Chain A
Amino acid sequence: MVSSLAEPLLALRNIRAGYGEAVVLDNISLELADRGSLAVLGRNGVGKSTLLLTIMGFTTLRRGNILWQGRDITALAPHRRARAGIGWVAQEREIFANLTVEENLTVAARPGRWDKRAIFELFPRIGERRANKGNQLSGGEQQMLAMARALMTNPALLLLDEPLEGLAPIIVEELAGALKRMIRDEGTAVILIEQHAGIALSLTEDAVLLERGAIVHRAKSADLMKDAATLDRYIGMKIKA
């Protein structure tokens, strides 16, 4: 298949997916351009994480297909999707507890711009703790490591599942800074799920709102930020300036 400039990096077409018999997502279609960034917002349990798991290939897909750089990856095994350039930061961080920080990075490493040195520059704390076991890290350090580990795969797209959840404000600031650098400076495409809607919208270009497994609203992130009524309706929170 010949890829054209206008071809999206990732395209989901009429996805229906879930776990076993249970359907969580229905009729989801979305596109993400190369170097694009998308915030996925919605209340708890509307299927945000399931969306990322579906892109990785960990759910039961009942209908629709997934295109990656124009190629149908609907039937591709998860590890092959990862190798094709999709990086995943799981909600629970899922650091390998019995591996050292450095091993957590090297097991994921693929050639490219992100190597251990670049990672330790982006997250100096991770570098300081490289010999520690994964289970000896604080929550913030675990989150940095989860992000760093996904970057070691040198992804063209990074899927981030609530990377700022439950972290101290100072860590949130540090991580948001790193995210901004990845999106703006490195041009890594991002799909970001986040409870901090304000931060998520300020980091991304586009946004979708999810409710009961379906996309109910699409907007430019900058516009949605000002649309208090819509935000209040679908996620029940006011944006703090």
Chain B
Amino acid sequence: MIVSMFGVLFDGLAYGMLLFLLSVGLSVTLGMMNFVNLAHCTFGMIGGYVTVTLMNSMGWPFLATLPAAFLVAAAASVVFERTMFRRLYRSTDLDQCLLTIGLVFVSVASAAWLYGTIQQPVNLPSYLRGSYNVMGVTIGVYRLFLIGMSIVITVALVGALEYTRFGAQVRAAVDNQRMARGLGINVDGAFAVTFALGSGLAGLGGALAIDIVGLDPSFALAYLVYVLIVVSVGGLGSIAGSLVAAIVLGISDMAGKYYFPEIGSFLIYLVMLSLLMWRPVGLFGKR
């Protein structure tokens, strides 16, 4: 029991880290720019298909596809932002939801048309496969890699936002857009970079997710729910909040499926409900 508990904790932690990578960008764009981007997981899906295509059709090694997944998703988001999202920054939430959910459906259909509806295979390199056995607990190498990767990204993200001039300018623009502009800060540019960064991380998350949750065209819609839960439980705009929420939800989801398989899939919603009833603005939310 105890041993299995550690196993569930570890797997849940890895799963939570994956949710964190997928959702942190949305938390930042929603919290900072007030743009409701329901198409966030579309960028995750783009990252996933980039990795699959590069590996299976072009023979790239898995690790080399990860930066590509990040870059392509980020670049795609810039195109979306410039051509569509930008026009709706001052529109109502409903307009933003309608546009972005429409994009989700378009992306789901496009992925089905291009790749079919089957699960995409991914062959991890041998050094990322297998597992260690530590005192009876199975520690999957790939899950360990996921956790390490997420820690590095979190540290880099917090560092960039809290300790660079660009990060301070983004925070200033979030705090008071007009004043930031009045001081010469290119607010639109800063937001575009932030948006691309968040989408790129989703792309990376999508690529890393294939081995854990699989990849098919429904990804953009299926994970939207999880990502929204993480963002609302964590609190808008809070990186630390997203991290904690993603870990809590990842572990409770794993635990639910392991210990209470009959209601396993519902446990994550119960956790969400109780956390939001306890703190309606999210764990680290300010509003």
Contact = CB atoms under 8 A, between A and B. Distances in A.
A153 B171 contact: no
A58 interface: yes
Q: Give the most central of A90, A96, A98, A104: most B CB within 10 Å.
A: A96
B34 to A, nearest CB: 16
A97 B165 CA distance: 16
A29 B164 CA distance: 42
Given A106-B168, A107-B168, A79 B176 contact: no
Given A106-B165, A107-B165, A99 B182 contact: no
A116 to B, nearest CB: 12
Nearest to A102: B168
- Interface size range of chain A in the complex: 20 to 34
Interface in B113-146: none
B279 interface: no
A96 B186 contact: no
Contact of B184 (A58, A98, A110): A110
A96 B184 contact: no
Nearest to B163: A103
Contacts, number: 64
Contact of A99 (B171, B181, B184, B187): B171
B228 interface: no
Contacts of B165: 106-107, 109
B201 to A, nearest CB: 22
Interface in B169-211: 169, 171-172, 175-176, 178-187
A83 B185 CA distance: 8
Interface string A61-96: 000000000000000011110110000101000101
Contacts of A88: 182-183
B178 A58 contact: yes
B182 A78 contact: yes
A127 B31 CA distance: 31
Contacts of A78: 178, 181-182
Contact of A79 (B168, B171, B175, B187): B187
Contact of B179 (A77, A96, A98): A96
A61 to B, nearest CB: 16
A186 B182 CA distance: 22
Contacts of B178: 58, 78, 94
B184 A83 contact: yes
A108 interface: yes
Contacts of B185: 79, 107-108
A201 interface: no
Contacts of B183: 79, 82, 88, 107-108, 149-150, 153
Given A78-B182, A108-B184, 7 more contacts: A56-B182, A83-B184, A90-B179, A94-B176, A96-B175, A107-B169, A153-B184
Interface of A: 56, 58, 77-80, 82-83, 88, 90, 94, 96-99, 103-104, 106-110, 149-150, 153
10 smallest beta-carbon distances between A and B, as pairs: A82-B184, A108-B183, A94-B179, A78-B181, A83-B184, A88-B182, A103-B168, A96-B175, A79-B181, A96-B172
